[in-house]
Every structure is written in structure tokens, then in C-alpha cells.
Amino acid sequence: MREYWQWALALAVMVPLLGADQPGDTKKADVYPYAINQWHTTEPGENANYNHRKRLIGRGLAVYQNHCAGCHGVKGDGLGPASDRLQVKPRDFTKGVFKFRSTRQLQLPMEIDLYRVISKGLPGVSMPGFPLMVETDKLAVIQYMKTLVPNWDEQAKQRQVVYVPQAPQDMKSTERIMRGRVVYLGMQCGRCHGMDGAGTGASIGVVEDEALGSILPRNFTRGRFRGGDSSEDIYRTFHTGLGGAMPQFDDNVILYTNQQTVAAQADYMEQGEQAKLAPYLAQFPKNSAEIFKLDDAAKRALIVRHSWDLVAYVKSLTLHPKATAPFVAAPADDNGQSGEDDEY
Ligand code: HEC
Ligand code: HEC
């Protein structure tokens, strides 16, 4: 099965390339525009790994042209011939905006983040995984991709990895899930994801971003998490944000949820929900003044509790009765990467 869709994908990418000579179609006439001496971003002597990296970049160019350029474009601008037919557009690397990072918002990803995306792919969109790609080729294509991003070396120095602790054992407990619902209300995730996590009642239906285009907020009931689906991954996702698609929620925002902020959301709650949540809401500080008075250790403990509660709640939605695409029913080799089933 896997071979089959990879071939289908290769065909989808190649067929338009074969028709490259049609007049009037400038996009198809793209020629690889770089000379070899422009590949490196590090001057000789500046970096002991210079020669090694230059060799890898050369190898990475070949890998990129074979496997990536059809979608991401020879220049990395996301305008490969296959991009026309894709609903979620391939990333334009020249904009330097990345969604799936372990670093802070607006920073470049770590190499390991790129490695994960290339190895595993992104479920629900056309970005395929390359689990069988030779390791050196993966490392080489990463080095090459970095040359497509303006000022990679300079900007990479700013990167700070967001700390992700280990998830507690009780992620499926009702206590956590119900408190997580409270945090979800307090932090207003529903503005984009809907009050039910499936988009119902969302006030922001589409996020428009200059670098990333139009993005639909994720329907959590589908259970597809492109940044990874472990508890730690989901924790990381909202702590780092997703480029222009989703803001980064920092510690202060997470800490801020209190009884007053949640009460202000009453209009959006389902009937009877307030009563159901009351015992859990009672475990939250009454208002911001009360939070302000807490010592640092107590604040930290609350941030960590809120974060894991929120992850527990988001994960619980994938088992929601409204779930339309339960993973369980899919054949063993279908991890949602079939190319044509672009979805949120
Ligand atoms: C069939 C089309 C297709 C091919 C082939 C493809 N990609 Fe992608 N890629 C995409 C799409 C579409 C996205 C954007 C997904 C999204 O925004 O959620 C993407 C996203 C990515 C990202 C995520 C960037 C981020 O924002 O974090 C990386 C990294 C990436 N691709 C690298 C590669 C590499 C390297 C190759 C070749 C080895 C490749 N892609 C081949 C379609 C493709
Ligand atoms: C301003 C709108 C907005 C708000 C507010 C928002 N999100 Fe998102 N979120 C998005 C968009 C858009 C996506 C889809 C991004 C994509 O993959 O293209 C998304 C995707 C996600 C994902 C899936 C990421 C993945 O790995 O595929 C998670 C988890 C998530 N959001 C959690 C949250 C949580 C928790 C909150 C509240 C604290 C929240 N979001 C608030 C816009 C928003």
C-alpha cells in the first residue's frame, strides 16, 4: 500500500514536469537557479565543518530535487508544479516561517524538528513521510533546506528550545479532563477551535497569514496532530505556537485562567455545563488578584497543572461522539497521508 501511494505521488509530481515546455507557463519552466558557489552559507575557515557541510549540501540538493521540489519548488518557494492542486500549500521555505518547532514562536526550528517532519510526514496533508530514506540523505536534505531559508545561520543563533516536562500518569482521569475543559474555556481556545473543539461557534473561522496563507483551525475530533500526538507533543504545540497559524501561549497566559475569566465565557457554554463544571472550577483561583499573591513555586505548579489538564482535554476530544474519522477504522498502513485527502 505504502509503495502504491508513493508511486501515485511520484506520478502526480512528474506528469506536470514532463509538460515543462508549454508556452506561457512560466512556473513549469523553472530551472535550478543556483551556482555551486552559492550553496554554502558559511565562509571557509569560519567553521571547521565547512567542507563536510558543503559536501552534504551538494548531496542534499539531489535529494531535494528528487523528492521535494515537485511540491516545495526548486527555489523552495512552495510553488512546485504539484502545489496547484493542493489545498494545504507546501511550505515556502524562503519566508523562514515554520509551524512545527520545538523553539519559541517566530524562531527557526531545530534540525531535529525538520528531521521529524521528513521522517514521519504530516498526517492529513500531502506532506509525505520518508521513513525509508537513507539517514545521510535526510541529514543532507536538511542541510540543503537551510540554504533556502534567508539568513539561516544568523537567525539560528536566536533559537531557544521550549522546555517540555514529562507527562503525568493520569492523563485520562476525569478530574484532569474536566479541569482541562475549564482551562480551554478560560484561555479561549474555542475562539478558533470552536466550543466543542470541532469548530462550532468559532469566531475566527480562518486564520490568514502572510507567509502561510489561509489556515483552518484544527478540528480536534479528527485526532490528527501534525506536531506529533503524544501528550508531550500537544503540550509543546501550544507552548510554541504554530508560526502565524496559531499564537504561542506563554506561561503568563496559561497561569491567568481563574473563576472570573471562565464565568465570563458562560454564554458560550452548553446547557447545564456550568453546573457540571462547578466542582472543578472551584479548584481554580478566584480572580487575577489571587493569582498575583501566589509565590513563584505555587504559580509554577499551577502553570504545569493547567497545561497538562488542557492536553488531557484536547486528547479526550478525539474520542468525542462527533468524531468523524476515528483512527481505529483505518487500515493499518493508512496514516492519513494519501495526498488527496487534505483536511483539517
Ligand atoms: C506532495 C507534496 C510534498 C512533497 C513531495 C514534500 N512536501 Fe514538504 N510539505 C508539503 C505540504 C503541503 C506542507 C505544509 C503542511 C502544513 O502546512 O501543515 C509541507 C511541509 C513541510 C515541512 C514543515 C515546515 C514547517 O512549517 O514546520 C517541511 C520541513 C517539509 N515539508 C520538508 C519537505 C522535504 C525535505 C521534502 C522532500 C524530502 C518534502 N517536504 C516533500 C508538501 C510536500
Ligand atoms: C487564533 C486562532 C487560534 C487559537 C486562539 C488557538 N488555536 Fe490552536 N490552532 C489554530 C490553527 C489555525 C491550527 C491549525 C494549524 C495548522 O496545522 O495549519 C491550530 C492547531 C492546533 C493544534 C494541532 C496542532 C498539530 O500538531 O497539528 C493544537 C493541539 C492546538 N491548536 C491547540 C490549541 C489550544 C490548546 C488552544 C488554546 C490554548 C488553541 N489551540 C488556540 C489556531 C488557533
Backbone angles phi, psi at 63, to 5 degrees: -60, -45
Cα 214 to ligand 1 centre (Å) = 16
Instruction: Characterise 190 by phi-psi region: left (phi > 0), alpha (psi -120 to 50), beta (else).
Output: alpha
Query: How would you label 108-120 residue by residue, b for 16+ Cβ within 10 Å and e otherwise?
Result: bbeeebbbbbbeb
Which of 127, 209, 342 best tests ligand 1's pocket when mutated (most atoms within 8 Å of CB)? 127
Q: Which atom of ligand 2 is nearest to the CA of 88?
A: 18
Atom of ligand 1 nearest to the CA of 215: 17
Give CA–CA dist 262/284, Å, rounded: 10
User: What pLDDT sits at residue 189?
Assistant: 96
The span from the CA of 182 to the CA of 261, in Å, is 10
Cell matching residue 281: 472550577
Residue pair 67/154 in contact by the 8 Å Cβ criterion: no
CB-ligand 1 contact for 72 (6 Å cutoff) = yes
- Alpha carbons 114 and 172: distance in angstroms, whole number: 30
Which residue, 335, 342, 336, is CA-closest to 85?
342
Residue 50's pLDDT is 66
pLDDT of residue 222: 85
Ligand 1 atom nearest the C-alpha of 70 is 5
Q: What's the 37 CA to ligand 2 centre distance in angstroms?
A: 41
Report how far ligand 1's centroid is from the alpha carbon of 71 (Å): 8
Using the CB atoms, write b or e for 19-37: b if 16+ within 10 Å: eeeeeeeeeeebeeeeeee
User: Ligand 2 pocket check: which of 218, 252, 315 to mutate, most ligand atoms within 8 Å of Cβ?
Assistant: 218
Indicate the top mutation candidate among 63, 91, 222, 246 to test ligand 1's pocket, ranked by most ligand atoms within 8 A of CB: 91
Question: What CA–CA distance (Å, rounded) separates 134 from 130?
Answer: 9
- Whose Cα sits closest to atom 42 in ligand 1? 127
**Alpha-carbon distance values, 94 to 26, 77, 137, 166, 257 (Å):** 19, 6, 21, 34, 38
**Which pLDDT score is estimated for 206?**
93
Q: In the chain, which residues have pLDDT < 70?
A: 1-50, 320-344
Query: Which three cell numbers mark 316?
Result: 479526550
Minimal-distance CA residue to ligand 1 atom 8: 127
Q: What is the pLDDT of residues 234-251, one digit of tens each?
A: 999 999 999 999 999 999
CA distance linking residue 213 with residue 227, whole number of Å: 19
Nearest ligand to residue 145 Cα: 1
- Cβ burial 82-104 (10 Å sphere, 16+ → b, else e): bbeebebbbbbbbbbbbbbbbbb
Question: Which bin fits 98, alpha (ψ -120 to 50), beta or left (φ > 0)?
Answer: beta
Cα(234) to centroid of ligand 2, in Å? 10
* Pocket of ligand 2 from Cβ distances under 6 Å: 99, 187, 189, 191-193, 204, 207, 215, 217-218, 225-227, 234, 237-238, 242, 245-247, 249, 310, 314
